[in-house]
Structure 1
Amino acid sequence: MNPSLILASGSPRRKELLEQVNVPFTVHVSKVEEVIDPSHTPSEAVMSLALQKAKDVAESYSDALVLGADTVVVQHNSILGKPKDEQQAKEMLRMLSGQTHQVLTGVALVQNEQIITFYEQTDVTFYPLKEEEIARYVQSGEPMDKAGSYGIQGLGAIFVKEIKGDYFSVVGLPLSRTVRELEKIGFHYTM
C-alpha cells in the first residue's frame, strides 16, 4: 500500500500536473521562508528550496511521502525570482527578450529519513519583445507571481520561440521524471 503523498506547494500548476496523471495526493502548503544560499549554483539553489519546503511539511507527517518543488528562471547565471513590482517585471521581460534562458525546477521527495532531490533544466528562447507587448502583459497581472515574470502555460506562451527540454518542468514540475522517481521508491498509481 502506498504512503500518503503530500504536495508541499500551493501552486495550482503543480496540483493540476499531478491530477493530470492521476497521482493521488493532498496539499499541505509549506510555510517556510524561502532563502537562497548565495554560494549555491542555480541547480543547488532550486534543489535546496524544494528540500526546505518538503522537510517543513514532513515534520507534520510521520510516514507520509512529501513532495516539494521550486522553479527558478536563470539568465546569465543570475536567478530571476518573482518580481517585486510591475517595474521589475518589465525589466525581467526586457532581459529575456530575444534571448535564451534556463528554467530549473528542483524536486525533493522526503519520507522519514529517506531524501531524494533532483532537478531538470530546460532552455527557453523568447522572440524579441516590443515595449507595448511587455506593458500589456504586465498589465494583465499574470507575471506577478511567476519566476522570471512569465507563465509559459498562460498568456506568456506567445513570447516563446523555442524550448529544449521538459515543458512541464517550465510549468512547475518535471512530471515524467517525478513519477519515475516516485516509482523507484515504491509509490505506485494507476493511469
Structure 2
Amino acid sequence: MADFIYLASQSPRRRELLTQLGVAHELLLPDAHEDAEALEEPMACEPAREYVQRVTGLKFVAANERWLRRQAEQGLVRQPIVCADTTVTMDGHILGKPRDAEHAAQMLRRLSGATHTVYTAIAVGWPERDIHACKPVQLLSSSVVHMATMGEEDIAAYVASGEPMGKAGAYGIQGRAAAFIARIEGSYSGIMGLPLYETAQALGRLAWPVAR
C-alpha cells in the first residue's frame, strides 16, 4: 500500500498545500456527534500564540480518538495524522472566523491599512491506542501581514463574494484578498493554513520523509 497521511481538517486549502508538497493524504473528518467548533473556543485572556497551539493539540487528541473508533469499525491502517489551526491576532486580540457578513466586514475594517500577525500551529504524529502515549511533533509558524487600506466598497464586494466566511480574520491570502496584501514577513503557506516547511520537518521527525 502506498504511503499516505491522514489530514484531520475540512480545509480545502490544506489539501491543496499537501498536494503541492507531494504528500498523499486521506481525510479523517469529525463524526456527526463531534462538536469540532467547540475545540476552537478561546479561553479568557489567552494569548493567540498559546491559543493556537492548545487548540491544535486538542484537535490531535480528537483525531486520535476518531482513528481508534474507525480502526475498530473499519480497519483503518496506522498512518501519521496531521492537524493544524490558524489564527489571526491584532493588538492582542484573536480574530477568529466571522459569525456572519457584518462580523466579517467589521474584522476587515480593523485589518485595513494595518499590520497583523498570523499563527498556524501543526501537530503531526502516529495514532496510538493509549491516548496518553500520543506525543505528536508540534511546531508553530508565525507571519506578519501588512494589509493595504480597503475602502467600504472594497470590503462590501469582498464580503459579498462569500470568501471571508470560515476563515480566520475573515480573509484568505490565496484568494481575492491578495489584492490588498502589501507585504508579508514569514510563511505564505502558513498564512494560507498549513506551513509546508514545518509540516515537512515534522513528518521527517517521524521517519516519514517528504522528499523521496
> How far off is 1:4 after superposition?
4.9
> How far off is 1:18 after superposition?
0.3
Residue identity in the other structure for 1:51: G
Q: Which residue of 1 aligns with 2:131?
A: none
Partners of 1:2 and 1:56 lie apart in 2 by: 25
Residue identity in the other structure for 2:101: E
> How far off is 1:104 after superposition?
0.6
Q: Which residue of 1 aligns with 2:80?
A: 65
Deviations 1:47-70 (A, max 9, x none): 111121221111133543211101
Q: Which residue of 1 aligns with 2:186?
A: 165
Provide structure 1 residue ranges, at least 5 long, that are not aligned to the other structure.
none
Matched, 1:88 2:109: no
Matched, 1:118 2:139: yes
Partners of 1:109 and 1:60 lie apart in 2 by: 15
Matched, 1:150 2:165: no
Q: Any runs of at least 4 consecutive aligned residues in structure 1 with deviations exceeding 3 A, and if so which?
A: 1-4
Q: Which residue of 1 aligns with 2:75?
A: none
Q: Which residue of 2 aligns with 1:43?
A: 49
Partners of 2:182 and 2:66 lie apart in 1 by: 43
Q: SS of the counterpart of 1:60?
A: helix
Query: Against the structure 1 CA distance between its residues 78 and 184, is the aligned structure 2 distance closer, same or farther, given a 3 Å change threshold?
Result: same
Residue identity in the other structure for 2:110: M
Deviations 1:79-98 (A, max 9, x none): 00111111111110110011
Partners of 1:2 and 1:102 lie apart in 2 by: 38
Provide structure 2 residue ranges, at least 5 long, that are not aligned to the other structure.
69-77, 129-133
Q: Which residue of 2 aligns with 1:14?
A: 14
- Shifted more, 14-23 versus 107-116: the winner is 107-116
Residue identity (%): 37
Give TM-score scaled by structure 1 length: 0.93
> How far off is 1:36 after superposition?
2.1
Matched, 1:24 2:35: no
Q: Which residue of 2 aligns with 1:174?
A: 195
Partners of 2:46 and 2:28 lie apart in 1 by: 27
Question: In 2, are the aligned partners of 1:80 and 1:147 still within 8 Å (CA)?
Answer: yes
